[in-house]
Amino acid sequence: MHPILLSPILTLLLLLFFFYSVDATTSFSSEETRNKEIQPKETPVCSQTFACGPLQGLSYPFTGGARPAHCGPPEFHISCVDDSPELTIMSLRYRVLELNPVHKNLRLVRSDLWNSTCTDKLANTTIKSEFFAYNENDDVEVSIFYGCNSSTITPKPENWFHCNVNLPFNDSYYLIEKFPIDQIMSGVKCKIETTVPILKTAAAKLGANRSLFQEAIMEGFNVNYTNPYDKECAKCPNFNTGCGFDPHTNRPVCLCGDRVCDLSGTIFHSIRP
Ligand SMILES: *[C@@H]1O[C@H](CO)[C@@H](O)[C@H](O)[C@H]1NC(C)=O
Ligand SMILES: *[C@@H]1O[C@H](CO)[C@@H](O)[C@H](O)[C@H]1NC(C)=O
Ligand SMILES: *[C@@H]1O[C@H](CO)[C@@H](O)[C@H](O)[C@H]1NC(C)=O
Ligand SMILES: *[C@@H]1O[C@H](CO)[C@@H](O)[C@H](O)[C@H]1NC(C)=O
Ligand SMILES: *[C@@H]1O[C@H](CO)[C@@H](O)[C@H](O)[C@H]1NC(C)=O
Ligand SMILES: *[C@@H]1O[C@H](CO)[C@@H](O)[C@H](O)[C@H]1NC(C)=O
């Protein structure tokens, strides 16, 4: 054998020796069980990918489908609801239209606004965190006003829509960037104001045809994501299975196969579900 080939094999053997010497106090590993351990039995669960609707080959940091919750941070858990991928960010659900793992971009739509601009989730769209950020180059904010007392205003302006959400009044309006401050809106009192980002390109179409509000919402908005645990995970010994997440400590953990290991590759235990 060529001498250069010897060194990686030697390293491997040394690693294996180290690995088993850690375990040596409990039992003596026979040749047979060693072989069993060395040959990977099956694909470790966290190196599997999953697909949902338009998204294919989802891997770390995302979990869902074939990838159980311990394969990544809970912030990146995707539920597949009727073949539609959904992320929950700050207790609001979002439909994921696109996901680009290279540029770390997502295209999201609030699930509650998917086919109705009338929602009972009267909350602002807030996604800013250490995990997610609006892509300010692409997005623009729309304000939606619900429960407005504007019965005396006739005819209704084009940014008006009817919405019965159990408020004393059913009139609703939207304003792009609240600008220009709508003359009609200045006299109208509304119970609830919420904000939703849309794409600038959709806002331009909406400016040309004010009836396209639902369409504009359903095009979604762009979000960049960051995994704050990337640096820690890069130190893990096994790049393929990489990193998991321990929900009990709320910390990332290195994975070697299906088990938790430390930076040197010493294996501790299976992750507790
Ligand atoms: C989001 O990502 C794009 C590239 O994909 C980049 O141009 C932009 O600056 C990023 N925005 C933020 C807020 O990180
Ligand atoms: C919204 O669209 C989904 C399919 O995309 C459909 O299953 C659902 O019934 C629709 N909901 C309403 C309120 O129209
Ligand atoms: C949404 O944010 C605006 C300020 O940007 C605030 O006035 C409004 O009350 C918020 N709406 C809700 C439902 O929290
Ligand atoms: C609704 O608006 C009308 C006209 O501006 C006003 O007379 C009425 O008092 C308002 N009702 C409430 C409950 O604010
Ligand atoms: C709101 O709309 C519903 C029907 O969608 C109607 O029954 C109700 O009377 C309306 N309420 C007000 C205050 O206009
Ligand atoms: C605006 O969009 C609606 C819905 O797609 C369409 O029916 C209408 O003709 C459009 N109006 C104009 C002026 O283009």
- Which of 86, 93, 114, 115 has most ligand 2 atoms within 8 Å of CB, for mutation? 115
Residue 240's pLDDT is: 62
**Domain annotation covers residue 156:** yes
> Does 147 map to a domain?
yes
Is 105 close to ligand 1, i.e. is its CB under 6 Å away? yes
Condensed to tens digits (0 to 9), the pLDDT of residues 40-79 reads 557 888 989 999 999 999 999 999 999 999 999 999 999 9
Distance 263 CA to ligand 3 centre (A): 45
Q: Residue 59: inside a domain, yes or no?
A: no
Contacts for 266 with CB less than 8 Å, ≥ 6 apart: 18, 19, 22
* Predicted local confidence at residue 206, as pLDDT: 92
Split into its structural domains, the chain has a count of 1
How crowded is the C-beta side of 182, counted as CA atoms within 13 Å?
19
Cα end-to-end span (Å), the chain: 46
- Tell me if 208 is assigned to some domain: yes
The tens digit of pLDDT for each residue in 119-137 reads: 888 889 998 899 999 998 9
Which residue's CA is minimally distant from atom 4 of ligand 5? 164
* Least distant ligand from the CA of 100: 1
Ligand 3 site, CB within 6 A: 122-124, 192-195
Tell me the two tokens of residue 148.
């407005």
**134: in domain:** yes
Closest residue by Cα to atom 14, ligand 2, is 115
Nearest to 194 by CA among 154, 222, 165: 165
162: CA distance to ligand 5 center in Å? 9
* Cβ of 128 less than 6 Å from ligand 1: no
What pLDDT tens digit does each residue of the chain (273 aa) get? Answer: 454 444 544 444 433 333 333 333 333 333 333 444 444 557 888 989 999 999 999 999 999 999 999 999 999 999 999 999 999 999 999 999 999 999 999 999 999 999 899 988 888 999 889 999 999 899 999 999 999 998 888 888 888 999 988 888 999 999 988 665 566 677 788 999 999 999 999 999 998 999 999 999 999 999 999 999 999 998 888 766 678 999 888 999 999 888 888 877 677 777 655
Of the listed ligands, the closest to the CA of 214 is: 6
Please report whether residue 46 resides in a domain: no
Per residue, the 3-state secondary structure of 167-228, as one string, reads CCCCEEEEEECCCCCCCCHHHCEEEEEEEEEEEHHHHHHHHHCCCCHHHHHHCCEEEEECCC
Q: Is 100 within the bounds of a domain?
A: yes
- The predicted model scores a pTM of 0.80
Which of 98, 137, 200, 223 to probe ligand 1 with, by most ligand atoms within 8 A of CB? 137
Ligand 4 in contact with 149 (CB < 6 A)?
A: yes
Residue 101 belongs to domain spanning: 74-225
Ligand nearest to the CA of residue 209, numbered in listed order:
6
Residue 177 and residue 141: Cα distance in Å, rounded?
Answer: 5
CA distance 80 to 136: 28
Domain for residue 57, yes or no? Answer: no
